[in-house]
């Protein structure tokens, strides 16, 4: 049976840049932080300083901003004044999803010692830091974790972009490869 033609638009999108924007910590949303947007017409990813975005939202002049924030200010004004809803804000990764990813990775380990230590590391408060610390014992497994996480993030990003009507062509500089079994 022939498949129906896709209603998704193929656009070049830097999935790595979207992942970076989605990875900003909640603490970075202060004036020194950054916020990302994807242009649903071109696939361009725009990373703006919070200070520039707030100044544009408040109608303030860009004079009080640093030079790089002034460049962001112009793009922030464009995004805020757009009446077509072509710019979609890139939301941060959900903590619960990130935790489940760590748990899946730990449970998938073929090494019982690694599996036990990683699962112990993610039990209770402070799980993210303990997981990171535990991985320092095994450099190859740490690299496998980064590849595993990056591939999962890219799949999530593709799914999100599909909801926006975009079939992304990844233009990232680095494309993670599937990790070897760990």
Q: Are strands 34-39 and 45-49 parallel, antiparallel or unpaired?
A: antiparallel
Write out residues in the chain with pLDDT < 70, as ranges.
Answer: 1-5, 25-32
pLDDT of residue 115: 97
Beta carbons within 8 Å of 164's beta carbon, 6+ residues apart: 38, 40, 88
Q: Which of 175, 156, 181, 157 is nearest to 105 (CA)?
A: 181
Are 79 and 65 contained in the same domain? yes
Concatenate the DSSP letters of all residues of 72-139 into one string: HHHHHHHHHH-SS--EEEEPPPPHHHHHHHHHHHHHT-S-HHHHHHHHHHTSSTTHHHHHHHHHTT-H
**Cβ atoms of 15 and 38 closer than 8 Å:** no
Among 90, 109, 144, the domain-final residue is 90
pLDDT of residue 99: 96
pLDDT at 3: 47
Distance CA 88, CA 36 (A): 8
Number of domains observed in the structure of the chain: 2
Domain contains 136: yes
78 and 129 in a common domain: no
**Which residue range(s) make up the domain with 100?**
95-168
Distance, CA of 132 to CA of 149 (rounded, Å): 13
* Domain presence at residue 18: no
Joined tokens for residue 120? 């112990």
Pair (99, 164) in one structural domain: yes
128-157 pLDDT tens trace: 999 999 999 999 999 999 999 999 999 999
Q: Answer yes or no: do 163 and 104 share one domain.
A: yes
What is the pTM assigned to this prediction?
A: 0.86
Residue 14 counted as domain residue: no
């Amino acid at each position: 049976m022939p498949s129906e033609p896709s209603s998704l638009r193929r656009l070049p999108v830097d999935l790595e840049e979207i992942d970076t924007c989605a990875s900003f910590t909640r603490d970075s949303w202060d004036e020194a932080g950054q916020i990302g947007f994807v242009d649903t017409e071109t696939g361009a990813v725009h990373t703006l300083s919070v200070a520039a975005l707030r100044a544009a939202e408040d109608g303030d002049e860009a004079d009080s901003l640093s030079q790089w924030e002034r460049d962001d200010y112009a793009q922030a004004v464009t995004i805020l004044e757009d009446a077509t809803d072509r710019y979609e804000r890139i939301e941060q990764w959900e903590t619960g999803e990130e935790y489940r990813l760590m748990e899946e990775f730990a449970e998938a380990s073929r090494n019982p010692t690694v599996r036990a230590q990683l699962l112990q590391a993610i039990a209770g408060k402070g799980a993210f830091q303990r997981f990171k610390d535990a991985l320092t014992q095994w450099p190859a497994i740490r690299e496998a974790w980064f590849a595993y996480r990056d591939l999962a993030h890219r799949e999530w990003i593709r799914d999100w972009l599909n909801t926006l009507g975009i079939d992304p062509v990844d233009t990232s500089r680095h494309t993670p490869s599937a990790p070897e079994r760990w």
